């Protein structure tokens, strides 16, 4: 009695398992979605990704976008230097002169030159972003031309600012 | 009636964007305000290049200069905070990392603003 019922149960169980597997296979073929049962067993399935940066040809419009963020982060470092300089100015004559000697050293001037460029580039590409926020400069030619213009503007302005600063200091 | 809030006011800011629109708009307002302030900053720092400690102090003591400098610092620290926050939201992943970076940004921007404004006030009021 006991033995027989167990055989029946085993047969019934195997039928249930087979049917379940069949239904699962059919179902997962049907929906074939990420959250189907098959996804759990095929964790490293190679799924197609939506096209991103790698499918586009690199251009000035892409460069200006990432450089806007890079220069913004550089200016955050510049803000720390400005704070240091203001604190030194408020602290007193001796400490201020020490900070000034740092700033006027070769490395200090190189850093300040870089920050000047970052400020001018962020300034120009920021104004370009304001135009884009108002719905302008989305045409391909205008977009690329304005992106290139920001680099020309920042290069020229950086040189003009440093030429003017040296002129004020009486270097020439 | 248990409260007077409209249904709209109860759900505002609860979407996945949170208060993103307000942050976006205020970031742009700060950017516009930065245009004249940066021009002022560049022109005056180039004009004063190479000056001595006493000359710089005398320049900052002018009320218009100290006010403009303080406005510049308050504006750019806020612009910097929202800007860096945007970078963190895009590139820093994980709840804990994101919050650590957010706190670091908030605190350092507040520190920069506090130290700079105090220094300018100290000079302006003859400390």
**CA of B34 to nearest chain A CA: how many angstroms apart?**
9
With a CB cutoff of 8 Å and minimum separation 6, the contacts of A133 are B28
pLDDT digits (tens, 9 = 90+) for B51-87: 999 999 999 999 999 999 999 999 999 999 999 999 9
Q: Are residues A37 and A66 in the same domain?
A: no
**What own/partner pairs with CB < 8 Å and gap ≥ 24 does A138-142 have?**
none
DSSP A56-73: SPP-HHHHHHHHHHHHHH
Which residue from B minimizes the CA distance to A132? Answer: B28
The parent domain of residue A116 ranges over 61-168
Report the pLDDT value the prediction gives residue A1, as an integer from 0 to 100: 42
Indicate the pLDDT class of residue B14, thresholds 50, 70 and 90: confident
Indicate the pLDDT class of residue B16, thresholds 50, 70 and 90: confident
| Domain at A105, CATH number | 1.20.1300.10
C-alpha span between A78 and A122 (Å, rounded): 13
Q: Are residues A81 and A155 in the same domain?
A: yes
Which two tokens mark A132?
A: 């884009």
Tell which phi-psi region holds residue B94, choosing left (phi > 0), alpha (psi between -120 and 50) or beta.
Answer: left
With a CB cutoff of 8 Å and minimum separation 6, the contacts of B34 are A126, B72, B75, B76, B79
With a CB cutoff of 8 Å and minimum separation 6, the contacts of A86 are B115, B116, B119, B120
| Domain at B91, CATH number | 1.20.1300.10
Q: Is B115 on the interface with A (CB under 8 A)?
A: yes
**CA of A35 to nearest chain B CA: how many angstroms apart?**
22
**Between B42, B53, B56, which is nearest A161 by CB?**
B42
**Percentage of the residues of chain A whose pLDDT score is greater than 90:** 64
Q: How many domains does chain A have?
A: 2
**Between A87, A92, A169, which is nearest B49 by CB?**
A169
Which residue from A minimizes the CA distance to B31? Answer: A126
Taking an 8 Å cut-off on Cβ atoms, the answer to whether B84 and A73 are in contact is yes
Report the pLDDT value the prediction gives residue B111, as an integer from 0 to 100: 98
C-alpha span between B82 and B74 (Å, rounded): 13
Q: Is A74 on the interface with B (CB under 8 A)?
A: no
Which has more confidence, A8 or A153?
Answer: A153
- Tell me the ipTM for this assembly: 0.90
Q: Are residues A112 and A161 in the same domain?
A: yes
For helices B20-47 and B63-91, the axis angle rounded to 10 degrees is 130
Q: How far is CA B119 from the centre of its chain?
A: 16
């Amino acid at each position: 009695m006991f033995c027989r019922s167990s055989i029946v149960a085993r047969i019934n169980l195997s039928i249930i398992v087979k049917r379940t597997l069949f239904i699962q296979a059919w179902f997962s073929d049907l929906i074939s979605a990420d959250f189907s049962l098959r996804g759990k067993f095929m964790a490293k399935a190679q799924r197609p990704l939506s096209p991103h940066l790698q499918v586009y040809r690199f251009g000035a419009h892409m460069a200006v976008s990432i450089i806007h963020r890079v220069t913004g982060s550089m200016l955050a470092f510049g803000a720390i230097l400005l704070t240091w300089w203001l604190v030194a100015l408020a602290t007193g004559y001796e400490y201020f002169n020490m900070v000034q000697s740092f700033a006027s050293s070769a490395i200090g001037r190189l850093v300040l030159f870089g920050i000047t460029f970052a400020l001018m580039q962020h300034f120009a590409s920021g104004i370009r972003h304001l135009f884009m926020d108002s719905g302008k400069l989305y045409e391909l030619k205008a977009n690329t031309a304005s992106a290139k213009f920001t680099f020309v503007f920042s290069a020229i302005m950086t040189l003009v600012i440093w030429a003017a600063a040296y002129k004020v200091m009486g270097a020439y | 009636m248990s409260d007077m809030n409209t249904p709209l006011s109860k759900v505002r800011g609860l979407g996945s964007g949170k208060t993103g629109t307000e942050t976006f708009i205020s970031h742009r307002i700060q950017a516009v305000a930065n245009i004249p302030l940066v021009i002022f900053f560049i022109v005056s720092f180039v004009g004063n290049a190479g000056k001595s400690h006493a000359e710089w102090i005398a320049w900052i003591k002018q009320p218009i200069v100290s006010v403009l400098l303080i406005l510049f610092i308050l504006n750019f620290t806020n612009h910097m905070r929202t800007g860096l926050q945007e970078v963190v939201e895009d590139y820093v992943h994980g709840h804990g990392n994101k919050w650590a970076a957010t706190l670091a940004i908030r605190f350092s921007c507040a520190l920069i603003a506090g130290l700079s404004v105090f220094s300018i006030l100290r000079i302006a009021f003859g400390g």
